[in-house]
């Protein structure tokens, strides 16, 4: 596929969605990093739940240097609502869900795009296989995530080694089929998408990454009890519905890993 660079005319290929809540420092850094790292025609949509969110002022400030950045007000509070609002506003053929507080996965984006060029329809990063790692963040959250993904991968037909990561790339046309019963708790929508991508028979891809949580500070929205309950529901759904034989996942390892 001949992809025009960011400086060449052509339709937007990639829409990056950044659901945020008062991510002032992280957002200011992330927009600069994404703007420098992405060579293809792209846009960045920053979604927030309230007009009083400090992130809105950051977007206005950054638009002078990065006109491809757009703000979207989410009418349905929560990550699932933010992602749906972002997809509805997106102009790109491909959608990348990203987290404003994770710098490391930026290095995986070009490899995710390359997999899509090769016919993959749903790509996830992985922190737990092929050289991927997770650094920083809550120790409890890290332990629960790693354990749940290991149990899901080894005890069911789950194809992804890291189903719960929020960083996913897919075609905009597939979004509704990927989010039939999206939960409003935390980032469980990304977990559901990984399950549905496999159930729907999409071609799957995975790119390892080194995830560094909150390198530039801020406060995590992680809440132990409601998140564990919500993720457990999707975990049980995966055990019940996924076929025992794993689907093929095409892996692309970034140079130097």
Domains contained in the chain, CATH given: 14-244+247-251 (3.90.550.10)
State yes or no: pLDDT of 91 exceeds 90: yes
**Confidence grade of residue 14 (pLDDT, cut at 50, 70, 90):** very high
Burial 93-123 (b: 16+ CB within 10 A, else e): ebbbbbbbbbbbbbbbbbbbbbbbeeebbbb
The residue with greater pLDDT, 140 or 205, is 205
Q: Are the C-beta atoms of 30 and 59 separated by less than 8 Å?
A: no
Q: Are the C-beta atoms of 186 and 84 separated by less than 8 Å?
A: no
Alpha carbon distance 45, 31 (integer Å): 10
The residue with greater pLDDT, 201 or 102, is 201
Q: What pLDDT, on the 0 to 100 scale, is given for residue 178?
A: 95
Give the other-Cβ count within 10 Å of 198's Cβ: 23
State pLDDT tens for residues 106-125. Answer: 999 999 999 999 999 999 99
**Confidence grade of residue 3 (pLDDT, cut at 50, 70, 90):** very low
In the DSSP assignment, the letter for residue 147 is H
State pLDDT tens for residues 183-227. Answer: 666 678 898 999 999 999 999 999 999 987 755 544 555 455 565
Q: Which of 135, 138, 97 is nearest to 221 (CA)?
A: 138
**Confidence grade of residue 236 (pLDDT, cut at 50, 70, 90):** confident
């Amino acid at each position: 596929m001949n992809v025009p660079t960011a400086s060449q005319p052509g339709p937007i290929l990639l829409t990056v969605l950044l659901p945020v809540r008062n991510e002032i420092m992280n957002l200011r850094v992330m927009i600069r990093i994404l703007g420098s790292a992405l060579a293809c025609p792209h846009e960045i949509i920053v979604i927030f739940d309230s007009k009083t969110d400090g992130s809105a002022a950051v977007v206005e400030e950054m638009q002078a240097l990065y006109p491809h950045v757009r703000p979207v007000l989410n009418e349905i509070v929560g990550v699932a609502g933010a992602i749906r609002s972002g997809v509805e506003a997106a102009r790109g053929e491909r959608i990348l869900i990203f987290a404003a507080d994770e710098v490391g996965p930026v290095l995986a984006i070009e490899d995710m795009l390359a997999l899509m060029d090769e016919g993959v329809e749903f790509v996830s990063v992985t922190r737990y296989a092929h050289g991927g790692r997770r650094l920083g963040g809550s120790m409890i959250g890290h332990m629960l995530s790693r354990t749940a993904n290991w149990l899901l991968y080894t005890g069911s037909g789950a194809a992804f080694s890291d189903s719960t990561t929020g960083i996913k790339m897919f075609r905009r046309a597939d979004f509704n089929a990927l989010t039939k019963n999206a939960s409003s708790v935390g980032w469980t929508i990304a977990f559901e998408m990984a399950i549905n991508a496999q159930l729907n028979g999409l071609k799957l891809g995975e790119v390892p990454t080194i995830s560094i949580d909150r390198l530039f500070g801020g406060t995590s929205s992680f809440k132990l009890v409601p998140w564990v309950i919500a993720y457990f529901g999707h975990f049980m759904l995966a055990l019940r519905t996924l076929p025992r034989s794993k689907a093929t996942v095409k892996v692309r390892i970034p140079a130097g890993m």
